[in-house]
Amino acid sequence: MLRLIRFVFRLFRSAIFLFVLAVGLGVALLQTSLSLASATAQVATLSANAATAAALHKKQMAKAISKEKAKARLKRLIVAVPLLGTGAAVAFEGNDLKVWLEENPDKSATDYGCEVASSSAEVMDEVLAELPEKFRPSSDLVMSRMPECNEASANN
């Protein structure tokens, strides 16, 4: 009889251990599932926010580019008026120089001229290609009128 009691006690003890183990694993599984669901929801929210921000940024960039193109177009139209155009061109360049000098306080107006000449040389063929052929100067003629800049001055 004592053996039977020990056997039942061991069996009962093993059953309790298995029950506690099963309950513990069930609780851990439930917590992990809830954490996974929460993380999935956060990822979905962040992905949606990122997509919205990207779309908004793209829209803002398109608007900024459109605005800059419109400003450039108006400047070209104003510069085309004979006497007013010369004054406007000088004013536009003066304003651009002022802004550039504020952004680059350690550089000079000569450095600005070299940077503008370098940038202009990079896009000159594209600009000349847009002109009607009978008004288009040769690329060599335009390049010969560009100021000579040494690399050390232009890169400072």
Q: Does 108 map to a domain? A: yes
Residue 68 near residue 96 (C-beta atoms within 8 A): no
Domain count, the chain: 2
Q: Does 74 map to a domain? A: no
Q: Does 151 map to a domain? A: yes
Percent of the chain with pLDDT over 90: 31
| pLDDT for residue 156 is more than 50 | no
Residue 131 near residue 117 (C-beta atoms within 8 A): no
Q: Does 2 map to a domain? A: yes
pTM, entire model = 0.48
Interval 102-142: pLDDT, tens: 999 999 988 888 888 888 777 777 777 877 888 777 777 77
Residues 57 and 95 in one domain: no
**Domain span at residue 54?**
1-68
| pLDDT for residue 29 is more than 60 | yes
